[in-house]
């Protein structure tokens, strides 16, 4: 097929939203929620089907079936950059960030899955691996949890999944955090403790919090202590927080300029990016190149199944977020979703593409 010109035009695009209730109410420093919306995209071309997905609002599904399908249909499934550029151009007047970026991300992942299937390869081998497996850190620890829920969840990741690190939410009720952090520390012993304020604090509040986190609880990772749009605030924290505490942000990066600005500002010790938002596999690998050029590690945000193969290909890579909601949904609805072993996940090289199949019948009851 390669070398013979355009032989695998995309013929059909489908997208469907599924709203999946959480297993318990969840909250962080700036939001609360009781459900997660999954958008599943399928693209047909060359006699194969590609599967992609994102977590966003149900409004992304008609965007995919409409303006994105309009420009992707007829594109060669092997020429993903052409389809990607066409999608970016098509959404110019509705805004390339936010909803449109999540829609493009799902479509891009489906195109990469399709291309790898057409070539008969797992995506990790098509991209080329820098590593065979990827470390994960357990992530959840919502501020709605009881002490028992918090303890069981964090200890589970350490004991059952072998995680070296776990992350919990803080800053919904800052007065309760010292107690919650003590519960967490006791649950995980000497394992690494990460926290996430989700942008809830002012710079000075965050700076005071950073000292306590490092000194009293041995926290290693402080995510979005202030708004991730406050690059000066993040940089100040990075410069003045204890040296053992890394300052981290990047989950709301929808395009490459966002990562360039954050890295150029010296705002983070570790850059996060989310392939379900930042332009799919294509956008994630572009962010990875920027991180490499800035000598900053990249960490994948949420949606571990979507990231796994690309994470194996990224040069300066730290770990993937084993996020409670998404792990639960991916195990429930995707055959072939990775399973944690000794704190790592690895692509199944016996399966082509992203290595997953959608359990449509199991998902039907959640269809939006």
- Residues in contact with Mg ion by the rule CB under 5 A: 196, 223
Q: Minimum CB separation from Mg ion for residue 228, in Å?
A: 9
Smaller CB distance to Mg ion: residue 42 or 251?
251
Q: Give the closest residue to 313 by CA, choosing from 128, 136, 116, 133.
A: 128
Q: Minimum CB separation from Mg ion for residue 198, in Å?
A: 6
Smaller CB distance to Mg ion: residue 96 or 167?
167
DSSP class of 354: T
Relative to beta strand 317-323, strand 297-300 is parallel
Q: Minimum CB separation from Mg ion for residue 102, in Å?
A: 16
What is the three-class DSSP state of 362? Answer: helix
CA gap 323, 330 in Å, rounded? 10
Smaller CB distance to Mg ion: residue 76 or 196?
196
First-to-last C-alpha distance (Å) of the chain = 38
Q: Minimum CB separation from Mg ion for residue 153, in Å?
A: 16
Smaller CB distance to Mg ion: residue 54 or 75?
54
Q: Minimum CB separation from Mg ion for residue 355, in Å?
A: 26
Q: Are 53 and 39 in contact (CB under 8 A)?
A: yes
Smaller CB distance to Mg ion: residue 31 or 339?
31
Q: What is the maximal distance between C-alpha atoms in the chain?
A: 65
Residue where the block lists tokens 């960030």: 97
Non-local (6+) Cβ contacts of 255 within 8 A are 96, 97, 101, 278, 279, 283
Q: Minimum CB separation from Mg ion for residue 29, in Å?
A: 9
Non-local (6+) Cβ contacts of 208 within 8 A are none
Q: Are 320 and 135 in contact (CB under 8 A)?
A: yes
By beta carbon distance, the residue nearest Mg ion is: 196
CA gap 220, 223 in Å, rounded? 10
Q: Minimum CB separation from Mg ion for residue 169, in Å?
A: 8
Smaller CB distance to Mg ion: residue 63 or 270?
270
Smaller CB distance to Mg ion: residue 196 or 297?
196
């Amino acid at each position: 097929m390669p070398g013979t010109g355009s032989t695998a035009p995309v013929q059909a695009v489908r997208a469907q939203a599924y709203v999946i209730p959480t297993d318990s109410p969840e909250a962080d420093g700036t939001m609360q929620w009781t459900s997660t919306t999954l958008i599943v995209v399928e693209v047909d071309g060359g006699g194969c089907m590609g599967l992609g997905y994102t977590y966003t609002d149900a409004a992304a599904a008609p965007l995919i079936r409409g303006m994105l399908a309009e420009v992707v249909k007829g594109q060669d499934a092997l020429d993903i950059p052409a389809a990607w550029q066409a999608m970016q151009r098509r959404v110019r007047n509705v805004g390339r960030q936010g909803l449109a970026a999540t829609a493009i991300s799902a479509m891009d992942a489906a195109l990469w899955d399709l291309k790898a299937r057409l070539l008969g390869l797992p995506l990790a081998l098509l991209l080329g691996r820098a590593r065979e497996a990827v470390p994960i850190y357990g992530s959840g620890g919502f501020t709605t949890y009881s002490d028992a829920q918090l303890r069981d969840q964090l200890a589970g990741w350490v004991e059952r999944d072998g995680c070296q690190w776990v992350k919990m939410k803080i800053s919904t009720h800052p007065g309760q955090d010292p107690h919650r952090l003590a519960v967490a520390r006791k649950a995980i012993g000497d394992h690494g403790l990460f926290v996430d304020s989700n942008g809830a604090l002012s710079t000075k509040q965050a700076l005071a919090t950073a000292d306590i986190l490092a000194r009293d609880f041995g926290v290693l990772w402080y995510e979005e202590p202030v708004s991730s749009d406050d690059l000066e605030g993040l940089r100040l924290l990075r410069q003045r927080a204890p040296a053992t505490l890394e300052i981290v942000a990047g989950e709301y990066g929808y395009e490459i300029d966002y990562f360039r600005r954050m890295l150029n500002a010296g705002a983070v010790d570790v850059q996060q990016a989310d392939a379900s938002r930042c332009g799919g596999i294509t956008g994630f690998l572009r962010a990875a190149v920027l991180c490499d050029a800035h000598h900053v590690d990249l960490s994948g945000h949420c949606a571990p199944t979507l990231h796994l193969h690309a994470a194996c290909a990224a040069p300066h890579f730290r770990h993937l977020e084993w996020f409670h909601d998404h792990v639960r949904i991916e195990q429930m609805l995707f055959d072939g979703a990775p399973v944690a072993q000794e704190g790592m996940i690895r692509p199944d090289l016996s399966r082509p593409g992203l290595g997953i199949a959608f359990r449509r019948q199991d998902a039907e009851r959640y269809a939006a």
